Amino acid sequence: MSKSYRYSALLILVLCWSAGSLSAFGIQETKISPYMLFSYLKNSDSQQVLQVKMTNITQTGEVPLPGLSIKFFNGENLLGEATTDVTGSANYTIDSTVELLVGEDGTWPFSATFDGDTLVDATYSDLSITDVNLEMTLSEEEGKRSVTLRATMPTADGVIPVAGDEVGVYVPRMFSLLPVATGVLDENGTIQIEFPDDIPGDSLGNLTVIGRFNEHYLYGNVEKREVRVWGTPVVKAPPVYRSLWSTLAPKWMVVTLAIMLMGVWSQYMLVIINLIRIKWDGLKKEKK
Amino acid sequence: MKGKKKENSSRRRFLRNIGLGLGSAAIISTPALAGAGDDSESGETLKLLTPEGKLVEVSKSVVREAKKKTKEQIKISYAGLPHRKFVMVIDLAKCKNARKCVDACQEGHMLPKDHEWIKLYLMQDSEQTAKYWFPKPCYHCDSPLCVSVCPVGATYKREDGIVLVDSKRCIGCKFCMTACPYSARVFHWKDPEAHVPDGHVYNPELNIPPVEGTVGKCVFCADKLRNNELPRCVKACPMGVIYFGDLTEDAVTNGVETLRFSSLMVDRHGYRHMEELGTMPTVYYLPPVGRTYPVELGFEDLDPSITDRYKDEPVTKSKKK
Amino acid sequence: MNAFRENLFRDLTPEIEKTSRSWYFLFAGFLAIFLLGLYGLYHQIDKGHIVTGMRDNVVWGVYIVNFIFFMGLSYAGALVSGALHLFKTPWRAPVIRLAELITVISLAIGPFFIFFCIGRLERIPYLLIFPRIQSPIVWDVIAILTDIFGCVIFLYVSFIEDFAKLRDREDLQVAPWKKKMYKILAMGYQGTEKQHRLLSFSRNVMAAMIIAIAIIVYSVLAWIFGVTLQPGWHSTIFGPYFVIAAIFSGVGLLIVLMAIFRKIYNLEKYITLKHFVNMGIVLFVIAAFFGYFTFSDYLTKWYGSVKMDKILIDKLFTEFRTYFIFANYIGILTPIIIIAIPRLRTIRNITIAALIALLALWVNRYIIIVPTLETPFLPIQDIRHDWRFYSPTWVEWSLTAAGVAVFGMLFMIISKLAPIISISEMEEAEERENLKLKEQVK
């Protein structure tokens, strides 16, 4: 096994060298056409974050593309650059002091570009975002928990409510956000959503409640987060120490085995002692 | 210095290359390198690709160190993720035998083509009932007979419910394979010929490289879970058949939609396969009610070597002439 | 008395003193088979287990069948010799040594078949380094190690008197190293009263232990199958069923060996029809028990057939029909019929019946292991024929043959080192006879 291991390492080295030299001569160039997922997030601290995820879509799924330098633009203005990490994501947080350019339709035109390198093709993606503010108030009355969300939009004519759009209450889970409830904002731009009392939190019952426009076609992702003791505390099941499948065997099994083995081996010892006594007796007789 | 840089970059390019389509070769397991970056400023560095295609930069000394870390890794893999209890839900109504889960799994774990950690069966419970496609990974049972019978502790159940196989410990007695009532385990009958580069640290959570004469099986992509990522089969499924999540959080997701596990079980009448055996699987099924695709679609665009499997199935079995 | 002893020595020691040419020929034949097996093993280690007929569903094949078979012979040898000794069976003298030898020699071969079956041979020590008490395989490892110790001690204890006799015999025409060996192995046994008392006590203790261990160990082996959920294996009857099956095959082998050694070493005077008939009656009783167990096991499975049991039984009655008929009808009924009808009780008939029983038991193990593995709970959906249906390859057969060859070789070697019939037992039996005669005269 270790032999083939070593051979394969050698093979890789050789391949590595040849691949390197081949691409240096420009003979072999299989360029990747990347897929760029571009999204906008206004987070709980009202920071505006531009997010890009670069992947290569292959037969067997998505492969993240790390180490690519992404440029972020607001209209024609370069906002900044970020490099994709191991998950293929690059985030750029817009400096709050920057005056963002507003397009003709009153939205922010954002774009992200990748200029391409020797292996990955250039790509481009854009977004138009309308700025909204989301407010979340959590209240608890007579044991009834509710989340009130209010969305407003700053316009030239002042702040107006956002009406008729879908908004949701979420809780973060290990892999994704779990939608607890969603609803449509009324004409005042508000909605009250009842929060269930059977959602597991952490061991103390802490739960992060998120009010969010989720992937909205105009607003992108806009969210507010707050931690409350609104979850059911998760009590960890005691670890199993002795069972058929655990490391340690059930006690009865150990005891039974020990008794049986002791019983048998003590008899063996007895016989061996007897044999030694036979030997001694023989020696005694020989001496005589 | 310049020359070195060039070599480095060509190497890097190569590594990325192979990870992105030309077959994966230079692969390291991510958790193996967790906490390995402390002294990466020490000059010489190496860029390596993780099985997912992540490029990570590590110093050569770290790589050397990594080998010694195998033991540590195995130890870590024993512990599992704290406060988690993983659960999978498979929606039989959506499965159409696209087999992307199988491909993604095989690629991710460098398995030979005939090794399927997730198998697709064409099932029919009795002659008059409907046929349906039935993806079957390892069930990671809560009362795992395979673990009970292992003589050397090569397979073990962790706190988070995942059952792993340590192929550095496995003696290949195959007792677990006869003990498992779900045929979830496969044996490496010959050298799997997986090319793993130097510096790769063996970790049962990823189980690369496969070892001849040992037993392998679905590991719920425990390596991915450490990074809060979904298992490969879940991500690969174009139909969103497979949901995965943490039971303690009462949520499962197929990557597109996230649902409460408990309400999913109630609404769709979830069940476990062969509950009567008492192995308590952690994989649940949603019955194939209101199919989104006809069963016959599962035969389309597939190699005869696949479709022929289902020729005289199911109900009638083992019809040897 | 002395004349009897002289005769005994004259009849039993020539095989130790000189070796015939045919012995060498036979030995060379066995050796060739053994070497072929070694080549098969090399091939298997070189190419991997893919060269066997085993695949993902039938993960255990002929190797495990052989393992159970040889272990069964061993336990049967232990049970028979232990019981013969403990119950002071009057006719035991010429056959007890053979039974003891079967025990030790089969025990030396059986575990090797497990080694052949294991994917990574070099990790065998892990069984002792990282044992898990919950695993029936660990029970088996502990049990077999205990059993090996016990059987070796038992065999040795029963040999001491003979070694002493061989040592004391001046005119024995053997190589000096053999004489030296007898001297060492006899452990200074002089036949004093104290020594005799200690020795017979030890023999009784070991005989009792051996019986107990044989039953436990073979049940443990059965539980390897019984504890799984597989149809056909998951059965409470498996422990006792295996024990009975083991005795059945062991008695069969004992009769066959009696016939062989009687012929080759000219022991017609000592091993007589009486012994064959007596062993035949044991075979008869065990066959009846074994048939009863088999019937009871399959009847319950067939009558209230659970889906998987039905599939399994259908398979047994179609694909494996010939095997089933041979193992469970011919193998059981032949010994019963031959022994039951006094007219048929000839040495040749009894030997044939025993041989059939022995072979039937091997086939019985085969149809316990293979059909069950071919019918897993989830249907085997595979286009590869060998993945669905097991058929052993030449590698497996060569190693099986090698196992049999080693069995033969070890028996041949031991027959050159010590008499195949216990001299001391024979003398004791003679003494008893004489005492009886004297009492009758009085």
Is the pLDDT confidence value at A4 over 50? yes
Q: Which residues from B are below 8 Å from A236, CB to CB?
A: 83, 248
Domains of chain B, each with CATH number or no CATH: 2-68 (no CATH), 81-310 (3.30.70.20)
Q: Which chain C residue's Cα is nearest to A283?
A: C188
Residue located via tokens 């050789």 = A14
- Flag whether pLDDT at A119 surpasses 50: yes
Q: CA of B17: how far to CAs of A29, A37, B23, C265, in Å?
A: 10, 21, 9, 76
pLDDT at residue C105 in the model: 93
Find residues 150-209 of chain C whose CB sits inside 8 Å of chain B.
none
Comparing A286 with C360, the larger pLDDT belongs to C360
Asked if residue B199 has pLDDT above 80, the reply is no
Place of tokens 């000394």: B61
Residue A288 lies in a domain: no
pLDDT band, very low/low/confident/very high, at C219 (cuts 50, 70, 90): very high
Tokens representing B38 are 């402390």
Mean local confidence (pLDDT), B26-33: 41
Confidence grade of residue B8 (pLDDT, cut at 50, 70, 90): very low
B contacts of C50 (beta carbons < 8 Å)? 189-190
pLDDT score of B50: 53
Reduced to 3 states, what is the DSSP secondary structure of residue C376?
Answer: coil
Instruction: Please compute the mean of the pLDDT values over residues A253-278 and round it to a whole number.
Output: 93
Q: Does C207 touch chain A (CB under 8 A)?
A: no
Grouping H, G, I as helix, E, B as strand and the rest as coil, residue A175 is coil
Is the Cβ of C321 closer than 8 Å to some Cβ of chain B?
Answer: no
In whole angstroms, what separates CA B277 from the centre of its chain?
Answer: 24
**Would you call B173 and C123 a contact, using CB atoms and an 8 Å cutoff?**
no
Residue C64, number of CB atoms within 10 A of its CB: 25
Query: Which residues of A fall within a CB distance of 8 Å from B10?
Result: 19-21, 23-24
pLDDT at A112: 92
For residue C188, give the nearest of A250, A270, A283 by CB distance.
A283
**pLDDT per residue over B106-134, tens digit each?**
988 989 888 999 999 999 888 888 899 99
Does A271 fall in a domain? no
Q: Summarize pLDDT for C369-387 with one digit per residue, the tens.
A: 999 999 999 988 888 888 8
Q: Is residue A53 situated within a structural domain?
A: yes
Same domain, A163 and A206: yes
- The band of C67, judged by pLDDT with boundaries at 50, 70 and 90, is very high
CA B279 – CA B146 distance, rounded (Å): 10
Facing C55 at nearest CB: one of B189, B211, B308: B189
- State whether A168 and A140 are in the same domain: yes
Report CA torsion sign: C196, C197, C201, C207.
positive
Nearest to C202 among A264, A275, A279 (CB): A275
Range of the domain at A62: 31-129
Distance (Å, rounded) from C-alpha A92 to C-alpha A200?
Answer: 33
Q: Is C278 in CB contact (< 8 Å) with chain A? A: no
Are A38 and A120 part of one and the same domain? yes
**Which of C161, C184, C195, C203 is the mutation pick for testing A, counting most A CBs within 10 A?**
C195
Chain C residue nearest residue B213, CA to CA: C119
Q: Which residue has the higher pLDDT, C306 or A16?
A: C306
Question: Could you say which of B191, B235, B245 has the minimum Cβ distance to residue A61?
Answer: B235
Percentage of chain A beyond pLDDT 90 is 35
State which residue of chain B sits closest to C113, comparing Cα positions: B173
Is A60 in contact with B236 (CB distance < 8 Å)?
yes
What are the Cα distances from residue A219, in Å, to A154, C33, C183, C215? 12, 82, 100, 78
- A56 contacts in chain B (CB < 8 Å): 20-21, 53
Please provide the average confidence, as pLDDT, over all residues in chain B. 80
Chain A residues within an 8 Å CB radius of B107: 60
Cα–Cα distance between C51 and C43 in angstroms, integer?
Answer: 8
Whether residue A118 lies inside any domain: the answer is yes
The CATH class given to the C2-13+20-430 domain equals mainly alpha
Among the partner-chain residues C56, C124, C126, the one whose CB lies closest to the CB of B187 is C56
B235:A246 CB<8 A: no
| End position of a domain, from candidates A183, A199, A228 | A228
* Residue A272: per-residue pLDDT: 93
More confident residue, B317 or A119: A119
Residue A2: pLDDT over 80? no
Residue pLDDT, tens place only, A143-178: 889 999 999 988 878 888 988 889 999 999 999 999
Residue C94's pLDDT is: 84
What CATH number is given to the structural domain containing A74? 2.60.40.10
CATH (domain of A172): 2.60.40.730
Query: Rounded to a whole number, what is the distance in Å from the CA of A86 to chain B's nearest CA?
Result: 5
Q: Do A172 and A116 fall within a single domain?
A: no
Are A234 and B55 inside 8 Å of each other by CB?
A: no
Distance from CA of A7 to the nearest CA of C (A): 17
Which residues in chain B (221-280) have CB-CB distances under 8 A to chain C? 274, 277, 279
Chain C residues inside the 8 Å CB shell of B217: none
Q: In the listed set A129, A153, A181, which residue is the last one of a domain according to the structure?
A: A129
The pairing of strands B283-286 and B86-91 is parallel
In a domain, A270, yes or no: no
Average pLDDT over residues C54-76: 93
Contacts of B174 in chain C (CB under 8 A): 59-60, 117, 119
| Cis peptide bond prior to B281, omega within 30° of 0 | no
Q: How far away is chain B from the Cα of A243, in angstroms, using its nearest Cα?
A: 8
Q: CA nearest C12: which of C165, C152, C154, C158?
A: C165
Interface contact A63-B52, CB threshold 8 A: yes
What is the arithmetic mean of pLDDT over C344-364?
94
User: How many other C-beta atoms lie within 10 A of the C-beta of residue B33?
Assistant: 22
Task: Looking at the structure, tell me whether residues A220 and A146 fall in a common domain.
Answer: yes
Does any CB of chain B come closer than 8 Å to the CB of residue A2? no
Q: What residues 73-132 of chain A have any CB closer than 8 A to a CB of chain B?
A: 86-87, 118-119
The answer on pLDDT for B12 being more than 50 is no
| Location of structure tokens 């997922």 | A37
Asked whether residue C354 carries a pLDDT value surpassing 70, the answer given is yes
Distance from CA of C426 to the nearest CA of A (A): 22
A38-74 tens-digit pLDDT:
999 988 888 889 999 998 887 767 788 888 889 999 8
Inform me whether the pLDDT recorded for A23 exceeds 50: no
Q: Does C48 touch chain B (CB under 8 A)?
A: yes
pLDDT in tens, C90-132: 888 888 888 889 999 999 999 999 999 999 999 999 999 999 9
Q: Which of residues 172-191 of A touch B (CB under 8 A)?
A: 173-179
Nearest CA in chain A to C191: A282
How many residues appear in chain C? 442
Give per-residue pLDDT as tens, A246-265: 888 999 999 999 999 999 99
| Rounded (10°) angle between helices C176-186 and C136-168 | 110
* Per-residue pLDDT, B79: 84
Q: Nearest CA to CA, how far is B58 from chain C (Å)?
A: 33
Chain A, 147 to 176: residues with Cβ < 8 Å from chain B are 173-176
Please give the tally of structural domains in chain A: 2
Residue B158 distance to chain C (closest CA, Å): 16
Q: Where are the beta strands (DSSP E) in B172-248?
A: 186-187, 215-216, 242-246
- pTM for this model (two decimals): 0.85
| CB C332, CB C354: distance < 8 Å | no
Cβ-Cβ contacts under 8 Å, A283 against chain C: 188
Domain boundary (A106, A129, A152) is at A129
Which residue is listed with tokens 């490892």? Answer: C141
Does C315 sit within 8 Å of B149, measured CB to CB?
no
Task: Please tell me if residue A12 touches chain C, with a CB cutoff of 8 Å.
Answer: no
Q: Which of A65, A175, A214, A230 to mutate to test the interface with B (most CBs of B within 10 A)?
A: A175
Give the model's pLDDT for residue C372: 94
Q: What is the pLDDT of residues B35-91, one digit of tens each?
A: 444 444 445 555 555 544 555 555 666 655 666 677 888 888 888 888 899 999 999
The whole-number pLDDT of residue B321 equals 36
Neighbours of B59 (CB within 10 A): 19
Tell if the CB–CB gap between C224 and B175 is shorter than 8 Å: yes
Q: Are residues A50 and A98 in the same domain?
A: yes
- Helix H or strand E encompassing B255: none
Q: Is the dihedral of CA B200, B202, B204, B208 positive or negative?
A: positive
Question: Is the model more confident about B92 or about C270?
Answer: B92
Task: Collect all residues with Cβ–Cβ distance below 8 Å to C132 and sequence separation of at least 6.
Answer: A247, A249, B150, B151, B152, B153, C138
pLDDT of residue B63: 57
Residue (of B183, B34, B190, B188) closest to B109 by Cα position: B188
Segment A189-237, tens digit of pLDDT: 899 999 998 899 988 889 999 999 988 888 889 999 999 999 999 887 7
User: Exposure of A184 by Cβ count < 10 A (0-12 exposed, 13-18 middle, 19+ buried)?
Assistant: exposed
A4 to chain B: which residues are within 8 Å by CB?
191, 193
Asked whether C152 and C104 are in contact (CB, 8 A), the reply is yes
**pLDDT tens by residue, B271-287:** 999 999 999 999 999 99
Tell me which chain B residues have a C-beta less than 8 angstroms from the C-beta of A244: 143, 147-148
Helix (H, G, I), strand (E, B) or coil at B73: helix
Q: Which two tokens stand for residue A208?
A: 């992060």
Range C262-269, long-range pairs (CB < 8 A, 24+ positions): C262/C347, C265/C15, C265/C415, C265/C420, C266/C11, C267/C11, C267/C12, C267/C94, C267/C420, C267/C421, C269/C11
- List beta partners, residue A61: A58
Q: A-chain residues within 8 Å CB-CB of B11? A: 16, 20
| pLDDT number for residue B44 | 57
A115, A139: one domain:
no
Closest residue on chain B to C134 (Cα): B148
Does A193 map to a domain?
A: yes
> What is the model's pLDDT at position B183?
93
Nearest to C285 by CA among C341, C332, C344: C332
Let me know if residue A219 belongs to a domain.
yes
Least confident of B13-17, B183-187, C124-128, C129-133: B13-17
Residue A255 lies in a domain: no
Please, which residues have CB within 8 angstroms of residue A49's CB and are 6 or more apart in sequence? Answer: A40, A41, A42, A43, A91, A92, A93, A94
Residues 51-110 of B with CB under 8 A from C: none
Helix (H, G, I), strand (E, B) or coil at B122: strand
With contact defined as beta carbons under 8 Å apart, do C166 and C180 qualify?
A: no
